[in-house]
Protein backbone atom coordinates (compact mmCIF):
# COMPACT_ATOMS: atom_id res chain seq x y z
CA UNK A 1 0.00 0.00 0.00
CA UNK A 2 1.14 3.56 -0.60
CA UNK A 3 0.86 6.01 2.30
CA UNK A 4 1.91 9.65 2.09
CA UNK A 5 3.92 8.79 -1.04
CA UNK A 6 5.80 5.90 0.58
CA UNK A 7 5.35 2.25 -0.35
CA UNK A 8 4.54 0.16 2.75
CA UNK A 9 3.96 -3.52 1.87
CA UNK A 10 1.15 -4.92 4.00
CA UNK A 11 2.70 -8.38 4.35
CA UNK A 12 5.64 -6.95 6.31
CA UNK A 13 5.88 -6.20 10.02
CA UNK A 14 7.23 -2.79 11.12
CA UNK A 15 8.96 -1.31 14.16
CA UNK A 16 8.15 2.21 15.30
CA UNK A 17 11.60 3.31 14.11
CA UNK A 18 10.90 2.23 10.52
CA UNK A 19 12.54 -1.15 10.22
CA UNK A 20 10.63 -3.94 8.50
CA UNK A 21 10.63 -7.65 9.19
CA UNK A 22 9.61 -10.28 6.66
CA UNK A 23 8.99 -13.86 7.73
CA UNK A 24 10.58 -16.04 5.05
CA UNK A 25 9.22 -19.43 3.98
CA UNK A 26 11.82 -21.20 6.13
CA UNK A 27 10.77 -19.25 9.25
CA UNK A 28 13.76 -16.94 9.30
CA UNK A 29 13.22 -13.17 9.37
CA UNK A 30 14.73 -10.75 6.87
CA UNK A 31 15.13 -7.18 8.23
CA UNK A 32 15.57 -3.85 6.47
CA UNK A 33 14.70 -0.15 6.54
CA UNK A 34 11.29 0.86 5.23
CA UNK A 35 10.95 3.44 2.45
CA UNK A 36 10.50 6.29 4.92
CA UNK A 37 13.38 5.19 7.15
CA UNK A 38 15.70 4.93 4.15
CA UNK A 39 14.95 8.50 2.98
CA UNK A 40 13.82 10.62 5.95
CA UNK A 41 17.31 11.25 7.30
CA UNK A 42 18.74 12.35 3.96
CA UNK A 43 21.55 10.59 2.18
CA UNK A 44 22.87 7.74 4.33
CA UNK A 45 26.64 7.95 4.48
CA UNK A 46 27.55 5.04 6.75
CA UNK A 47 25.94 1.91 8.14
CA UNK A 48 27.33 -0.46 10.77
CA UNK A 49 25.84 -3.95 10.86
CA UNK A 50 26.43 -6.89 13.24
CA UNK A 51 28.36 -10.08 12.61
CA UNK A 52 26.87 -13.48 11.82
CA UNK A 53 26.11 -15.48 14.98
CA UNK A 54 25.50 -12.30 17.05
CA UNK A 55 22.44 -12.72 19.27
CA UNK A 56 19.95 -9.98 20.10
CA UNK A 57 16.69 -9.51 21.93
CA UNK A 58 13.84 -7.67 20.24
CA UNK A 59 14.39 -3.95 20.83
CA UNK A 60 18.19 -4.22 21.15
CA UNK A 61 20.38 -2.03 18.96
CA UNK A 62 21.97 -4.29 16.34
CA UNK A 63 23.72 -1.59 14.33
CA UNK A 64 23.77 2.09 13.49
CA UNK A 65 23.64 4.42 10.54
CA UNK A 66 24.68 7.98 9.84
CA UNK A 67 23.63 10.69 7.45
CA UNK A 68 24.79 14.28 7.20
CA UNK A 69 22.05 15.32 9.64
CA UNK A 70 21.42 12.24 11.80
CA UNK A 71 23.12 9.39 13.69
CA UNK A 72 21.04 6.62 15.17
CA UNK A 73 20.68 3.01 16.13
CA UNK A 74 18.96 0.19 14.29
CA UNK A 75 16.75 -1.84 16.61
CA UNK A 76 16.08 -5.53 16.31
CA UNK A 77 12.45 -6.35 15.53
CA UNK A 78 12.70 -9.96 16.78
CA UNK A 79 14.76 -11.94 19.26
CA UNK A 80 17.23 -14.29 17.63
CA UNK A 81 20.59 -14.97 16.02
CA UNK A 82 21.93 -13.16 12.97
CA UNK A 83 22.57 -15.83 10.35
CA UNK A 84 23.38 -13.59 7.38
CA UNK A 85 24.49 -9.99 6.91
CA UNK A 86 24.04 -8.09 3.65
CA UNK A 87 27.65 -6.97 3.40
CA UNK A 88 27.03 -5.52 -0.07
CA UNK A 89 24.85 -2.76 1.38
CA UNK A 90 27.81 -1.23 3.23
CA UNK A 91 29.41 -0.49 -0.16
CA UNK A 92 26.17 0.35 -1.98
CA UNK A 93 24.31 2.67 0.41
CA UNK A 94 22.46 4.24 -2.53
CA UNK A 95 20.37 1.03 -2.67
CA UNK A 96 18.71 1.87 0.67
CA UNK A 97 16.29 4.47 -0.76
CA UNK A 98 16.15 2.82 -4.20
CA UNK A 99 15.27 -0.74 -3.15
CA UNK A 100 14.32 -0.72 0.54
CA UNK A 101 12.34 -3.97 0.26
CA UNK A 102 14.64 -5.70 -2.22
CA UNK A 103 18.42 -5.74 -2.49
CA UNK A 104 18.82 -3.25 0.40
CA UNK A 105 17.84 -5.68 3.17
CA UNK A 106 20.19 -5.57 6.16
CA UNK A 107 20.23 -8.86 8.07
CA UNK A 108 18.64 -12.31 8.17
CA UNK A 109 17.71 -13.59 11.63
CA UNK A 110 16.89 -17.05 12.99
CA UNK A 111 14.19 -16.09 15.50
CA UNK A 112 13.82 -17.74 18.89
CA UNK A 113 10.33 -16.52 19.88
CA UNK A 114 8.79 -15.34 16.63
CA UNK A 115 5.09 -15.46 17.49
CA UNK A 116 5.51 -13.35 20.64
CA UNK A 117 7.75 -10.83 18.86
CA UNK A 118 5.38 -10.41 15.90
CA UNK A 119 2.58 -9.43 18.30
CA UNK A 120 4.62 -6.33 19.24
CA UNK A 121 5.16 -5.16 15.66
CA UNK A 122 2.91 -3.08 13.41
CA UNK A 123 1.17 -5.14 10.72
CA UNK A 124 -1.80 -5.27 8.37
CA UNK A 125 -4.55 -2.74 8.90
CA UNK A 126 -2.60 -1.00 11.70
CA UNK A 127 0.12 0.19 9.29
CA UNK A 128 -1.80 3.08 7.74
CA UNK A 129 -2.90 4.77 10.99
CA UNK A 130 0.53 4.31 12.64
CA UNK A 131 2.39 5.66 9.63
CA UNK A 132 0.11 8.69 9.16
CA UNK A 133 0.39 9.56 12.87
CA UNK A 134 4.17 9.18 12.77
CA UNK A 135 4.53 11.43 9.70
CA UNK A 136 2.20 14.05 11.23
CA UNK A 137 4.24 14.11 14.45
CA UNK A 138 7.38 15.00 12.48
CA UNK A 139 5.86 18.10 10.84
Q: What does the pLDDT look like over 1-55, one tens digit per residue? A: 999 899 999 999 999 999 999 999 999 999 999 999 998 888 899 999 999 999 9
The H or E element containing residue 21 is strand 19-23
* 67 and 44 Cβ atoms separated by less than 8 Å: yes
> Which range of residues forms the domain containing residue 60?
2-138
Q: What is the value of pTM for the model shown?
A: 0.94
Residue 12: is it exposed, middle or buried by C-beta count within 10 angstroms (0-12/13-18/19+)? buried
Q: What does the pLDDT look like over 48-96, one tens digit per residue? A: 999 999 999 999 999 999 988 889 999 999 999 999 999 999 899 999 9
* CATH number of the domain enclosing 131: 2.40.50.100
- The CA dihedral of 127, 128, 129, 131, to the nearest 10 degrees, is 80
pLDDT at residue number 139? 67
Percent of the chain whose pLDDT exceeds 70 = 99
What domain count does the chain have?
1
Amino acid sequence: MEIEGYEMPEELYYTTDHLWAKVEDDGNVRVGLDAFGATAVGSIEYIDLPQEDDEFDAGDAFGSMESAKWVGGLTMPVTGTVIEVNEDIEDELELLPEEPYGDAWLILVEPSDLEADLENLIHGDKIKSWFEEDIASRD
